[in-house]
Each structure stands twice: as structure tokens, then as C-alpha cells.
Amino acid sequence: MDGRLAGRVAIVTGTSRGIGRAIARTFVREGAAVVGVDVLEEQGRAVCAQVVAEGGAMRFMRGDVADESDVRAVVEGVLAEHGRVDVLVNNAAVQKEARLVDVTVADFHRVVDVNLLGCLLFCRAVLPAMVERRSGVIVNMSSLNALVADPLLPVYGATKAGIIALTQNIAITYGPDGIRANAICPGDVDTELNQAFFRAHPDPAEFRRRVEREYPLRRIASPDEIARVALFLASDDASFVSGSQVVVDGALMARIYEL
């Protein structure tokens, strides 16, 4: 298949479900050899097996993005097998819903370690090989919560804002080495995580409708819609796009209020 990522090697974290799974499948369809990483091993291997059964090139490696030795092992394994990493997508994330006064130190460290430290560790691990080849693309999954506040997601929002700052730093520091880095800021996406959030309310269907009414497009995004943005940023179509955050929110932030 001659796709937009033909012949390229990509690492995608958080591939067991949701946006990460959609990105992995999209990249494979566009010709990439994808290495998926997740702590949810059974689900990750099932996704990989399905992709392979459909004729795609994907391998799964169990890894905790917040564990430095796991990250090193994944990147060393990919370099040993393929000799390079062309694309890195840092997608793995967790969230803990709580108002700031109810956030525990353990909650803080868990969210920061997975969302922000995990992103940093994988970027740090792939950059030397990318610099050596003078080529590479990093796509970091941020969030609309990096730009606007949710009362129940103070630490999550802080990590996603940190990811934007980290992405910009990579873009200006390693741009001279031929490396591009961008962040994606999705609004609500129809993932397992969001579905669980809806189910936590007394009337899940009505709560979902309430959320969707907040969007001018009157719906939330599908994982595939976010995956296509990641594909664009990873491909040569975005060859002069670097240091940017791409907001994918169905015009949610474009209005002041609705009467």
C-alpha cells in the first residue's frame, strides 16, 4: 500500500483503546509499521492481532510510559528491529476527576507521571536517533483542557498545558535537526473513557445530549476524526507545521455564549 506513511516506523502509546487505537489503525492503513505501547496488555494484543489479521504491519509491546526502563526497552527494541523511529505519538493518558481541594498527592503524581512525564520520557528516548538521521515527527496528544478549565480536572489540565510547552520546546530546539513536533487539543471524543464519564451520571443519555448541545456541531468527535489529524501532522502534508497546537473541538471555543 502506498499511503502517506509508506515505509515509516511509528511508535504510538495508549493503543489499547480510544484515540490511540484509532491512530494505530489509521497509520497502518497509510503504510506505516506501527509499534503500539500500553499497560493494558490483553487489550493491546487484541488490537494488534486484529490489525495484523487485516494485513497491516503492527506489533504490540507492553510498557508503562511512566517507567523509564520500560520506555527505554521499547525504543531500543524498535531501533534494533527497524533501525529508526520516524514518528512518535504520545497518546497515553489518565485522568482523575476531583476539585483541587480534594486532589491527593498520590492522584497528582499518577496523572503527572503518565501524562507529562511519560510524554517527556518517550520524546527524550527517540530524539537521539531522530537527530542522527536528521528526520522525525513527534505528535503529542494534549487537550482542550490545556486551554480552558474544567473544575474537576485541575491536574489533568495542567499536564496537558505542560505538554504544549514541551512540544514547543522540542520544535524550536530540534527543528534545526529536521524534527517537527506538534500537539493536538481535542474536545470531547467518543472513547471508552468518555462513555464511562457519561455512565457515571444518573441519566447517561440525557447527560451526553447536554454535552453535545454545547458543541456548535451538536456532537462530539469520533476517535477516527482525531486520528486523521494525527495522520496529517505525521505526514509530509504537514512538512512546514511545527510547534503548533491544533484545536479539534467542533467550534466549541469559537463562541462566547449561546442565548
Q: For residues 164 and 183, give the distance between their C-alpha atoms in angstroms, rounded to a whole number.
A: 6
Of 156, 174, 215, 257, the active-site residue reads 156
Q: For residues 139 and 141, give the distance between their C-alpha atoms in angstroms, rounded to a whole number.
A: 7
* Strand 179-186 to 245-248 pairing: parallel
Q: Output the CA torsion 77→78→83→88 (10° steps).
A: -140
Taken in order 155, 156, 157, 160, the sign of the CA dihedral is: positive
**131 in Cβ contact with 174 (< 8 Å):** yes
Determine whether 156 is an active site residue.
yes
**129 in Cβ contact with 140 (< 8 Å):** no
Element holding 138 (H helix, E strand): strand 136-141
**114 in Cβ contact with 93 (< 8 Å):** yes
Q: For residues 206 and 209, give the distance between their C-alpha atoms in angstroms, rounded to a whole number.
A: 5
Q: Which are the catalytic amino acids?
A: 156
